[in-house]
Chains A and B, each alone.
Chain A
Amino acid sequence: MSELIPQLTQQIFNGLSLGAIYALIAIGYTMVYGIIGMINFAHGEIYMIGAYVGLVTLTAIGTGSGLPLPFVIAAMLLVAIVVTGIYGFSVERVAYRPVRGSQRLVALISAIGMSIFLQNWVALGQGARDMAVPSLVSGSLQFHMGTDFDVTLPYSRIMIIVVTVLLMIALSLFIKYSRMGRASRACSQDMHMANLLGIDTNRVISFTFVLGAMLAAVGGVLIAITVGKLNPFIGFLAGIKAFTAAVLGGIGSIPGAMLGGVLLGLAETLAAAYISSQYKDIVAFALLVLILLFRPTGLLGKPEVEKV
């Protein structure tokens, strides 16, 4: 019984680092939904591509190059952010802009098609099998809490939490104070009105997709470093879970996506630890179904009124 506290601490830490990744992906879903009201089903694939770009960059630099580690990781993140941002931009341009303005289902089916396309695109280019990512950040902090069970905080997971928190602060400031951030908030309130007031809404929408893709890319690179392997199909599950996080927090709300990500990460880790690890995916899916049924507006979302 005395080991309960350290074990719980360990699980909460694991849950936080997992939740940070979900939060990074969820912001892409929530921003896109907030502005054009569509579920970007291919967003999970964008995250997967971010992870692959990171791995390609790492392999291009080489693990034995002797460059300082922060530099290598920064290079991976930077290249992944740029390339994945371009992916986000192109996906919106190719698959979503032509169907904008038609029914919701049309856009959703197009997004599903894009998701399948991107999965197999990467599978074709880089092979469908697992790729090993060399471990860059090893070692961990150990805490002794007076019992036999020591709390282990791996540096890689600490890195995830630190990077995510920094990005969240930067994003909040950006949305609040920058010109583009103001424009995108205006668009999410009333697209037509924003357009009438001289905001280039097409640019704002493109920007939203690019920003979402960039954050997902960071998540992808960080998880690739931490987990040490990836394949072209990791995006599906991660995407659905991040969507769950976005819905949990209230879709359309950025703080909601952060909160939802963390809560989902915690719920999943605790379920894996105290119920059964086989059921952790079921917990996430069940949570998704339950929230949509009982509180579709999520924790921080605003109710949507359907007008004729």
Chain B
Amino acid sequence: MANNTLKNAFMAAVLTAVIMMPVFGLQLIRQGVQTHLEPRWDIVGGAAAVVFVFQLIRPWLAAPLKRLKSHMPVLPSAPTKGRKWLILLIIAAAVIWPFFSGRSSVDIATLVLIYVMLGLGLNIVVGFAGLLDLGFVGFYAVGAYTYALLYHWAGWGFWEALPFSGAVSALFGFVLGFPVLRLRGDYLAIVTLGFGEIIRLLLINLNFFTGGPDGISGIPKPTVFGYEMTRRASEEGTQTFHQLMGWTFDNQHMVNYLYLMALVLALVTLFVSTRLIRMPVGRAWEALREDEIACRSLGLNPTRIKLSAFTLGAMFAGFGGAFFAARQGMVNPESFTFIESALILAIVVLGGMGSQIGVILAAILLTVLPEIAREFAEYRMLMFGLVMVLMMMWRPQGLLPMKRPQVELSK
């Protein structure tokens, strides 16, 4: 037994050394036109040693890990009494917070809220309905470009364009979803990935219309009930917001305003999806995710149910996109690559598919951590990949899975 462990550990260490070798062990260094190799035996040896030791002690780790696994936190069922007050308190804290906080942290919080919104939107598709959508960022792009193009070609403002962004994205979701939702899980994932990429490639190549790779810039920020939040009004004779309120101009106002707007959008998404999941259509999503054949034999129309989830998810992505365009002031296809889809998916997966609190916490975690640990920025995507693999291995239901009343037949 011990002999076997030793042999396995040795094999694992050798494999690790081979794996490390071409990537870290022999680093390609470019000097002008010449490329030469710089051997780094220390990294290879170190990694092999770590793996060797880990494999040796793994039998001892197995028992505590198993105990840990069965005692991981489950979403605490909030006390029904006073729950409303708790939620109101959290919301109030979130509303007041920016006025006592620095500009950069409010900015990051706004970004977090965009991801909360996107995560909650994707959660409807992936978590509730169980449809793996790898092209979610395509709908995000459609929303952002809808506002950008409406501004660029027709001079529309944010508030007029916002509903259109959601509607156009939802329309895209509906039209694209209609034919593909008959497909089985993994094929659906690949087709949506294809759609996401097609949308991005079209945005790059339709130069005359979308501005090509440079995108569209100079997109105005949202106004407050028609009053601009700039130092000077863009048109003569109109007032700006700070003039109306009698304040002196401060950039922080705009930052706070954007934060509050993102908060409202995120809360609306949260509210709508919480209500939806309790409605018949939400129940149907979950039933369909659990067993499609059983659903069909009970007379539910799978395509229609899936389509509703897909369309709604796309709509929220569209709202998020319009807000993103307004916040950035510019859009270009670079912002809508597959990596972005994977990031949103990682948020949903990490939080626990179907669990809204989990998704919100994961969005905060995955957005704030890279901002704090700037020096580890290179490792960010590496970590996302690793987190996705590890979560699937140890806790496919997510960090804070949704708790459902259930009865299981013992076999």
Roughly how many angstroms separate A112 CA and B346 CA in the complex, as a whole number? 10
For residue B130, which residues in chain A have a CB less than 8 angstroms away from its CB?
A: 105
Q: Which of B114-122, B194-202, B399-407 lines the interface with chain A?
A: B194-202
Q: Are B386 and A117 in contact (CB under 8 A)?
A: yes
A90 within 8 A of B: yes
CA distance in complex: A211, B370 (Å): 38
Closest to A127 in B: B28
B374-408 interface mask toward A, CB cutoff 8 Å, 1 = contact, 0 = none?
00001101101111110111001000000000000
Tell me the bound Cα distance from A131 to B190 in angstroms: 29
Total chain A interface residues with beta-carbon distance under 8 A: 63
Query: A39-B186, A126-B27 are known contacts. Are A113 and B385 too (CB-CB below 8 A)?
Result: yes
Is A279 part of the binding interface, using a Cβ–Cβ cutoff of 8 Å?
A: yes
Known: A59-B35, A289-B191. A110 touches B22 (CB 8 A): no
Check B9 for interface membership: any CB of A closer than 8 A: no
Q: Report whether A131 and B28 are in contact in the complex, using a CB–CB cutoff of 8 Å.
A: yes
Query: A143 on the interface (CB 8 Å rule)?
Result: no
Bound together, the chains give a CA A132 to CA B34 distance in angstroms of 9
Q: Which residues of B sit under 8 angstroms from A109, Cβ to Cβ?
A: 132, 345, 349, 388, 392
Chain A CB within 8 A of B61 CB: no
Give Cα A120–Cα B186 distance, bound, in whole angstroms: 24
Determine whether the beta carbon of B183 is less than 8 Å from that of A292: yes
Q: Are A105 and B28 in contact (CB under 8 A)?
A: no
B residues near A285, Cβ cutoff 8 Å: 194-195, 197-198, 201
Which of chain A's residues have a CB closer than 8 A to the CB of B217? none
Within A228-255, the residues touching B (CB, 8 Å) are 236, 240, 243, 247
B9 CB, min distance to chain A CBs, angstroms: 14
| Chain A, residue nearest B378 (CB) | A124
* Consensus secondary structure, chain A interface: helix
Q: Which chain A residues lie closer than 8 Å to B183 at the CB level?
A: 292-293, 296
Chain B residues with Cβ below 8 Å from A98 are: 393
CA of A20 to CA of B33 in the docked complex: distance in angstroms? 30
Of residues 21 through 39 on chain B, the ones whose CB sits less than 8 Å from some CB of chain A are: 21-24, 26-28, 30, 33, 35-37
Closest to A126 in B: B28
CB <8 Å contact, A281 and B197? yes
> How close is A226's CB to chain B, nearest CB, in angstroms?
18
Known: A56-B26, A86-B19. A116 touches B197 (CB 8 A): no
Can you list 20 A-B pairs with a CB-CB distance of less than 8 A? A49-B23, A59-B26, A59-B35, A86-B19, A87-B19, A99-B393, A105-B130, A108-B186, A108-B189, A112-B134, A113-B385, A115-B385, A116-B342, A120-B385, A123-B378, A126-B27, A282-B205, A285-B197, A289-B198, A296-B187
